[in-house]
Amino acid sequence: MGPKKQSTAVKRLMTEYKQLLNDPPEGVSAGPISEDNFLEWECLLAGPPDTCYEGGIYPATLTFPEDYPLNPPKMVFNGPIFHPNVYKNGEVCISILHAPGDDPNMYETAAERWSPIQSVEKILVSVISMLAEPNSESPANIDASKMWRDDRPAFEQLVRSQILASLGISNE
């Protein structure tokens, strides 16, 4: 990076990246897309065992704001994923990624939302947990939430067929 002064965000992200390399959480791989841009990360998340997502590999992008860790990154899955807490465009909707402070909708407590003590590792572990246990009370994808609640077998079949398609395996 030469003599250019590194931002607080980049210094923090470099530290978090080293921690992830030394002690990665199970089922997760993440790091900067390039050494020139520490604010854009690639992630791979393995579908959690004993869930309908098991066997799936889910690529995602974490985009950090210039004022990280004061504000949270945005996480977007880069491929199809049918889940109550993932918008159809792939953006993850989970409390830990919501701006700090009180929820204007009074749904989440400030303690559930982003705070500077959170980390990339905590985000990734929270998203794996979200995959395993969707919150259908606060859906980002209404169709997925309704199917999760009302027709679990159909929901699980759709997710499995997405996994097979992503692996290039026919579901016939």
CATH code assigned at 136: 3.10.110.10
Question: Which of 1-15, 18-32, 33-47 is least confident?
Answer: 1-15
pLDDT reported for residue 1: 42
pLDDT band at 101 (very low <50, low <70, confident <90, very high): low
Say which DSSP state 99 is in.
Answer: P
Secondary structure of residue 33 in the 3-state scheme? strand
**Total tally of structural domains belonging to the chain:** 1
The percent of residues in the chain predicted with pLDDT above 90, rounded, is 70
| Single-letter code of the amino acid located at 24 | P
Radius of gyration for the chain, computed over Cα atoms and rounded to the nearest angstrom: 17
pLDDT reported for residue 15: 95
Is pLDDT of 109 > 90?
no
List, for residues 62-97, the tens digit of each pLDDT value: 999 999 999 999 999 999 999 999 999 999 998 888
Choice among 9, 10, 81, 93 that is catalytic: 93
Q: Which domain holds residue 23?
A: 8-167
Average pLDDT, the chain: 88
List, for residues 25-38, the tens digit of each pLDDT value: 999 999 999 988 99
Q: CA nearest 155: which of 59, 57, 51, 74?
A: 51
| Single-letter code of the amino acid located at 8 | T
Rounded mean pLDDT, 112-128: 89
In a domain, 155, yes or no: yes
Q: CA nearest 133: which of 47, 69, 65, 61?
A: 47
In a domain, 145, yes or no: yes
User: Which is more confidently placed, 167 or 88?
Assistant: 88
In a domain, 120, yes or no: yes
Question: What distance in Å separates the CA atoms of residue 131 and residue 81, rounded to the nearest whole number?
Answer: 10
**List of residues 6+ apart from 15 with CB closer than 8 A:** none
In a domain, 1, yes or no: no
43 is catalytic: no
